Amino acid sequence: KSLPKQYVGLRPYPGAEIEVWEYEGPIYGDDEAPVNLHNTFTDYMTGNMKYDLMKPEQVRKMMHMTVQQYDQVKNELSLFYNKKTGHKVGKWVDDLFSRGQQEASENFWMNIEKRFKLKSRGYITEDHSRVFCGKRITMTKVDGQIWYHMSQQEDITQFLRDNNAMG
């Protein structure tokens, strides 16, 4: 069963003719897009692909990919865990984070890049912080122990500047 044919139109300016395109899938910002992305990602992570909803070229592409073997955490549906490697993946809308041994992490990122277009990825080290959903995550070592820190200082400072509340 495939999705019903739909169309989307755009009138670029008042008085212009409407431009119409076939709607082949959810558009970013569409009401259904977050649920569709979540379901597609979950199907990919758990290896339960619904090929009947895909176009033939999508199925052919999927056949050349490594099937993921993650379990979805029952009380947090955006978290996934690989029992074999111990690797964990979390998703917030269309942002991902992962935690695990470097080999498992590299395999995950290498495989997911074959399925989804990623804007960027990287690792948090003492010399390299990352921003995830507006939070800067840093790592330090104190007495040989690794500590991770999260800060929203940059966003809060910008918010205060934008609202003339810097004092």
Residue 1 confidence (pLDDT): 44
The pLDDT > 90 percentage for the chain reads 48
Tell me the two tokens of residue 165: 């509340």
List pLDDT tens digits, range 69-78: 899 999 999 9
Burial 53-63 (b: 16+ CB within 10 A, else e): eeeeeeeeeee
Instruction: List Cα–Cα distances, 113 to 14, 17, 47, 66, in angstroms.
Output: 41, 39, 16, 11
SS3 151: strand
H helices of the chain, in order, are 33-46, 56-63, 102-115, 153-162
> pLDDT class for 27, splitting at 50, 70, 90?
low
pLDDT at 162 over 70: yes
CB atoms within 10 A of CB 68: 20
Of all residues in the chain, what percent carry a pLDDT higher than 70?
87
What pLDDT was estimated at residue 26? 61
Give the mean pLDDT of the chain: 86
Which has the higher per-residue pLDDT, 78 or 50?
A: 78
Residue 64 confidence (pLDDT): 73
- In this predicted model, what pLDDT tens digit does every residue of 103-123 receive, in sequence order? 999 999 998 888 888 888 889
Confidence of residue 34 (pLDDT cuts 50, 70, 90): confident
Mean pLDDT of 77-93: 94
- Alpha-carbon dihedral sign for residues 83, 84, 86, 88: negative
Q: How confident is the model at residue 91 (pLDDT cuts 50, 70, 90)?
A: very high
